[in-house]
Structure 1
Amino acid sequence: MYRFLSITGVFFVLSVVLLVSGCDLFSTRYPEKPDVPRFDYLQPVDVTSLLSNFSNSVQTKSTQYYLKSFSDSLKNGKRYTFIANAEAVSKYASLAFGWSVKDEEQYLNNIINKIPNESSININLDNQDLVSYGDSAYLSASYTLTVPHNIQGLQNVFGGKLQFKLVRDAQQLWTIYQWLDIKSGDLPTWSELKGYFN
């Protein structure tokens, strides 16, 4: 009987030692970096919050928050569409066949995969002109977009003008339901960036 107790005691002590040393129960665990870049997401109860979320999601490469900027036809009856400029459509036929939220997701994920993790996309929206009509609004702005990729033959800076048609849904949240991209200078446009990375 004593022999059984001593074998049981030794087995118990060895089990506890192995458990404690193998699990690092009492060691400090360092926090992991999040997979999704974080920023202070604002409920888009006004157009300013929507534009802030849109810009921040591009800069932080957050596909999740970027997609929230676009209209969901189940919530407001407006299907999102992107209308590329003619020059970009002539280079990238995929832009001519109806660009959807799914295409936005694919293009942004493809860009993210070509940019170093520590880098961010720089976006500037200038000369903003906003006209509101109750539950809808129209915004025009000039933009510059700097994408820190290392792809030969593709510029890093894009520019042009954008026109957003915006809608407020039943939850009083604003989204973009139409995006028109316009060439306005020598820089390649956002349409060309989307076409390249689609």
Structure 2
Amino acid sequence: MELETKTRSDPKTGIVFREEHSFFSPAGERQKEASGFHRADGPAIVYRDRASGVTLVEHYFRFGCLSRTDGPASIKRDPATSIVTQEDYAVDGIYHRIDGPARIERHPTTGKVLSEAYYRNGKPHNEVGPSFVLYDERGNVLRADYFIEGKEVAPIDLQQKRKEKDSAQISMSWCATITDPGANKAQRGMKRKSRPSNWPRSEF
């Protein structure tokens, strides 16, 4: 596999305003020729402002796929304010994030969130709220759409699924408690400690 880095600099400022990292793998007996953007230790594509040097765009690629596991795979900033106006979370070329929205858009001046999109393994998915949310500049919700594993659901259906999940978690927690020998031992110990000494043993 061959790695290549291409850069372009502004002749007046000397600032590297374009940076691209790629790979090339020739065809072999068991594989086809492959190429694309790739970088293991940082963004594979970087665009900077020619005058200030501020980073405007960052795209993280792994072997030709937009992918990053420790942060957003794509970041865009406003050239005037340097505010991050867009973040995209992706793994192996598909939108994916477990602990928040996979796509976020912000106002270039105020930085307030304008839209959010929740994805899990490339499918619209959010178990605790809407998968797609559109806000006005004051933060009021203009539109909200609900999806579970790529299928659109009504808010009431989402609430029912959340109740079922909570009930299942409570049941699992209770089962773990009554089947855990350590937990049973602790409970028996508490009972013995709280039992009056003059009570008959047959009560327990």
Give TM-score scaled by structure 1 length: 0.25
Give TM-score scaled by structure 2 length: 0.24
Higher relative contact order (CA 8 A, sep 6+): 1
Normalized per residue, which structure has more strand? 2
Structure number with bigger Rg: 2
